[in-house]
Amino acid sequence: MNIGFFSYLFAFLAYAALTVLLVTSWRGKSLGRLLIFASSFSALWAGISALSALSIITFPGILQPLELGRDTFWCLFLMKSVQSNSSQKISSVLRITPINLFFIFLLVASIITILMPLIAVTTSNTNLVSHDATLGIWVIFNIIALLLLEQLFRNSAVEQRWAIKHLCIGIGCIFAYDFFMFADALLFKQLNQELWNARGILNGLMVPLIAVSVARNPKWSLDIYISRNVVFQSITLMGAGIYLLVMASAGYYIRFYGGSWGSTLQIAFLSGTGALLLIILFSGTIRAKVRVYLSKHFFNYKYDYREEWLRFTQTLTESDEEVPVRIIRAMSALVDSTGGLLWIRRDNGQYELNSALNMPEPAMGITHAQDPLCAFLEKEQWLVDLDEYQRNPDIYVGFTPPEWLMAIKNGWLIVPLLFKNRVFGFIIMPHSQSQRSINWEDRDLLKMAGQQAASYLAQHLSEKALTQARQFEAFNRLSAYVVHDLKNILAQQSLIVSNAERHKHKPEFVDDVIATVRNSVKRMTNLMEQMKSGMRGNSSECIELGALLTETSAAHSARKPVPELKLPEQQLFIQADREQLTTVFGHIIQNAQDATPNDGHVTITVAPGSDQVVVEVRDTGTGMDQEFIKKRLFHPFDSTKGLTGMGIGVYESREYIRSLNGDINVESAPGEGALFRITLPCTRSAE
């Protein structure tokens, strides 16, 4: 058997296939043209070498031009690639570029390897041919190619090395092998025939690596597509062949060293290893892992992730639909599906059907955490392909679809929505009209998008819960204010009851009782309206401040110390809710009376300004320290009155004054009384 022929025939077929792929996908760029020439000359060189091994072609000088052309175009391709990444000159003084130096060397190489042998053949002068010079030229060629490869890899950006690393490995192995072979020939004055015969096999094995880099590198403008099934089958055959060769070698040594048991052990060993090979070849898990590995490391990605992510985000944020429906639409669009069903996990561990899009809602709207589907998703956090499960249920170990899931018509994919390493919910999608199956890349994209959708959904539910909590907070705050006002009304009614027996025969007392009851009814009616509307102090009117303070001061004059009111001569008008403002001043006056002994003083002073008015309520009571004012006075539900106080009067008063663009400030010291300064915006006349 002629080993050299089959070796170079293998290289010829590999380079011919690469050339066909390059020609059919070339877009007219210069790098692509050089690559086509390099591959074409390599195929021609391998074919002529194969024929020469059979002595079909015997002309001695025919391989030299082909070898020269092959090496030349590979070097030109590498040099052009290096120049696209770096514009440095070799010599800034002579202005000699690498390409010019290479052409000078190429001229010398042509003279030594082609012209001189041709002259020697025609003149029969063998002295013109120097085998050492020819071998030296090939060694220099290999050194140049290896240097160019080193420069190409070094000058490439880190993100570009992923695209060219297989090219550097493939071409590097070819020229490194040639360097070793020709250096060996130069050293021993003859070419090693075994190295020459193995050269073709090595060249053929490096072609797939070159093809992978060509497919990955857009600069070369070559749209090469290598069938994943073809690569997978080829890798499988190559792996099986290598496995069988290794096992055959091991079997040979077992037979050789096994003595009388050698043949028996060899047969048993080969039978066992053959069975192991069949197990590996028919293992769906191993085949799937190999497919994913090859797809991830040797092929372009299916998706433009930037475009997919922008489209996904746009669908999530720019629709008028409810957030759960937007999530279903965005997720299903990734695999060209038309809708889906969304379940969300409750706090008790159950999953509740939240939304549906273009799918009928199943009868089972709530599933327990022990449900087979929910338990599997919680444990594995896998995407479930129901079609794949029907074909190969062994992939989904421990999963048995529940009856309610199988009852869903047209169910296809179940995508878990992962949030903080937990299943926050899941989406069931119907079959796509265009995409019949999914691969590892679809799964990765859906899983990544599911995590984003889960965080978006969690944020939406948190905002919804926060809005609900704020509504309850507003209602509870209003209830506290209402209860506080009812307490004051109750105090008035209790005062009437306690004085009724003594003063019921006095007409003045009866009139005062009627007025007090009328005022209580009015205030309770307003409180009921506030409870119905959910708003407090919503009405606004122009109020004459002096009259309101006079009325409020008079209402508190039955207690000692009697408030003293000092008003300016001009009228001052405030835009506010009368009842609320009356409550504010009444509460501050009442607190001043509570803190001041009967022989003390409570003074109300009004100081007008240009666009605001300051109302000061000063008392000579016990006073407060700064710690109390800072940390307790304006804090709700903190009272010094024990069970009789609620601790929201001062807080409510300041909040309302601030809502009018005013403020309340306090100056006080223990034993020196207190000064409440209320600042309000005002006008000098009614509008």
Threshold 0.85, pTM exceeds = no
Residue 544 backbone zone (phi > 0: left; psi -120 to 50: alpha; other: beta):
beta
Query: Is pLDDT at 663 greater than 80 in this prediction?
Result: yes
What residues are paired with 664 via a beta bridge?
A: 678
Average pLDDT, stretch 485-512? 76
What residues are paired with 681 via a beta bridge?
A: 612
Structure-token match 């990544």, residue found: 448
The pair of structure tokens assigned to 656 is 């309302």
Side-chain half-sphere CA neighbours of 255 within 13 A: 13
Read off the pLDDT of residues 297-340 as tens digits, 9 standing for 90 and up.
Answer: 555 555 666 777 788 888 888 777 889 999 999 999 888 898 99
CB 427 within 8 A of CB 328: yes
More confident residue, 317 or 97: 317
By DSSP bridging, strand 602-608 and strand 612-619 are antiparallel
* Alpha carbon distance 4, 46 (integer Å): 10
Lowest mean pLDDT among 86-95, 163-172, 279-288, 530-539: 86-95
Q: What are phi and psi for residue 564, nearest 5 degrees?
A: -105, 125
Q: 613: helix, coil or strand?
A: strand
Contacts of 263 (CB under 8 A, 6+ apart): 255
Average pLDDT, stretch 137-143? 83
Read off the pLDDT of residues 37-68 as tens digits, 9 standing for 90 and up.
Answer: 888 989 998 888 888 888 766 555 677 788 88
Peptide bond into 117 cis (omega under 30): no
Q: What are phi and psi for residue 666, nearest 5 degrees?
A: -130, 135
Q: Provide the mean pLDDT of the chain.
A: 78
Q: What are phi and psi for residue 681, nearest 5 degrees?
A: -75, 145
- Cα 446 to its chain centre, rounded Å, is 12
Query: Is pLDDT at 570 greater than 60 in this prediction?
Result: yes
* Alpha carbon distance 38, 67 (integer Å): 11
* Alpha carbon distance 373, 301 (integer Å): 31
Side-chain half-sphere CA neighbours of 90 within 13 A: 11
Residue boundaries of the structural domains of the chain: 3-224, 227-296, 305-447, 539-681
Per-residue confidence (pLDDT) for residue 472, from 0 to 100: 64
Read off the pLDDT of residues 441-495 as tens digits, 9 standing for 90 and up.
Answer: 888 889 999 999 999 999 988 888 787 777 667 666 666 666 666 766 777 677 7
Which top CATH class is 3-224? mainly alpha
Crossing angle of the two packed helices 305-317 and 440-503, in degrees rounded to 10: 20
Q: What is the CA radius of gyration of the chain?
A: 47
Binned at pLDDT 50, 70 and 90, residue 497 comes out as confident
- Cα 488 to its chain centre, rounded Å, is 57
Average pLDDT, stretch 665-677? 92
- Cα 439 to its chain centre, rounded Å, is 20
Per-residue confidence (pLDDT) for residue 293, from 0 to 100: 63
The pair of structure tokens assigned to 577 is 């809710």
The pair of structure tokens assigned to 123 is 């003149």
Average pLDDT, stretch 230-252? 61
Average pLDDT, stretch 253-274? 61
Query: Is pLDDT at 643 greater than 60 in this prediction?
Result: no
H or E element that contains 134: helix 131-155
The secondary structure of residue 261, as a DSSP letter, is: G
Lowest mean pLDDT among 312-316, 536-540, 660-664, 681-685: 536-540
More confident residue, 296 or 522: 522
Average pLDDT, stretch 144-160? 78
Binned at pLDDT 50, 70 and 90, residue 637 comes out as low
Crossing angle of the two packed helices 440-503 and 649-659, in degrees rounded to 10: 110
Per-residue confidence (pLDDT) for residue 268, from 0 to 100: 64
Per-residue confidence (pLDDT) for residue 664, from 0 to 100: 92
Per-residue confidence (pLDDT) for residue 343, from 0 to 100: 92
Lowest mean pLDDT among 244-253, 393-402, 562-571: 244-253
Pick the most confident of 26-35, 336-345, 356-365, 525-534: 336-345
* Alpha carbon distance 365, 371 (integer Å): 12
* Alpha carbon distance 645, 216 (integer Å): 78
More confident residue, 529 or 206: 206
Binned at pLDDT 50, 70 and 90, residue 425 comes out as very high
* Alpha carbon distance 316, 241 (integer Å): 51
CB 553 within 8 A of CB 563: yes
Query: Is pLDDT at 625 greater than 60 in this prediction?
Result: yes
* Alpha carbon distance 352, 592 (integer Å): 57
Query: Is pLDDT at 32 greater than 70 in this prediction?
Result: yes
Longest CA pairwise span in the chain (Å): 157
Q: 637: helix, coil or strand?
A: coil
Per-residue confidence (pLDDT) for residue 479, from 0 to 100: 67
Per-residue confidence (pLDDT) for residue 321, from 0 to 100: 85
Per-residue confidence (pLDDT) for residue 91, from 0 to 100: 41
In sign, the C-alpha dihedral spanning 576, 582, 583, 585 is positive
* Alpha carbon distance 604, 676 (integer Å): 10
Query: Is pLDDT at 605 greater than 90 in this prediction?
Result: yes
Binned at pLDDT 50, 70 and 90, residue 84 comes out as low
Lowest mean pLDDT among 213-217, 600-604, 652-656: 213-217
The pair of structure tokens assigned to 600 is 């003390």
The size of the chain, in residues, is 687
Binned at pLDDT 50, 70 and 90, residue 236 comes out as low
Nearest residue to 442 (alpha-carbon basis) of 338, 344, 333, 341: 333
By DSSP bridging, strand 612-619 and strand 573-576 are unpaired
Per-residue confidence (pLDDT) for residue 646, from 0 to 100: 46
* Alpha carbon distance 560, 213 (integer Å): 97
Contacts of 6 (CB under 8 A, 6+ apart): none
CB 592 within 8 A of CB 559: no
Binned at pLDDT 50, 70 and 90, residue 417 comes out as very high
Pick the most confident of 25-29, 515-519, 545-549, 551-555: 545-549
Average pLDDT, stretch 103-126? 64
- Cα 444 to its chain centre, rounded Å, is 12
User: Which CATH number, 3.40.50.9100, 3.30.450.40, 3.40.50.720, 1.20.1080.10, labels domain 305-447?
Assistant: 3.30.450.40
Average pLDDT, stretch 88-93? 41
Read off the pLDDT of residues 582-592 as tens digits, 9 standing for 90 and up.
Answer: 888 988 998 89
Q: Does domain 539-681 fall into CATH 3.20.20.100?
A: no
From the number of C-beta atoms within 10 Å of its C-beta (0-12, 13-18, 19+), residue 577 rates as: buried
Query: Is pLDDT at 550 greater than 90 in this prediction?
Result: yes
Binned at pLDDT 50, 70 and 90, residue 356 comes out as very high
Per-residue confidence (pLDDT) for residue 502, from 0 to 100: 78
CB 170 within 8 A of CB 207: yes
Query: Is pLDDT at 545 greater than 60 in this prediction?
Result: yes
Q: What are phi and psi for residue 347, nearest 5 degrees?
A: -65, -25
Crossing angle of the two packed helices 158-188 and 193-216, in degrees rounded to 10: 170
* Alpha carbon distance 174, 11 (integer Å): 12
Per-residue confidence (pLDDT) for residue 487, from 0 to 100: 67
CB atoms within 10 A of CB 253: 12
Nearest residue to 186 (alpha-carbon basis) of 144, 150, 147, 141: 141
Work out the end-to-end distance of the chain between its first and last CA atoms, rounded to an integer number of angstroms.
116
* Alpha carbon distance 291, 544 (integer Å): 85
CB 341 within 8 A of CB 353: yes
Query: Is pLDDT at 266 greater than 60 in this prediction?
Result: no
Query: Is pLDDT at 224 greater than 60 in this prediction?
Result: no
Taking the CA atoms of residue 478, residue 484, residue 485 and residue 490 in that order, the dihedral angle to the nearest 10 degrees is 140
From the number of C-beta atoms within 10 Å of its C-beta (0-12, 13-18, 19+), residue 222 rates as: buried
H or E element that contains 271: helix 262-281
Contacts of 527 (CB under 8 A, 6+ apart): 482, 485, 486
Structure-token match 């309610």, residue found: 404
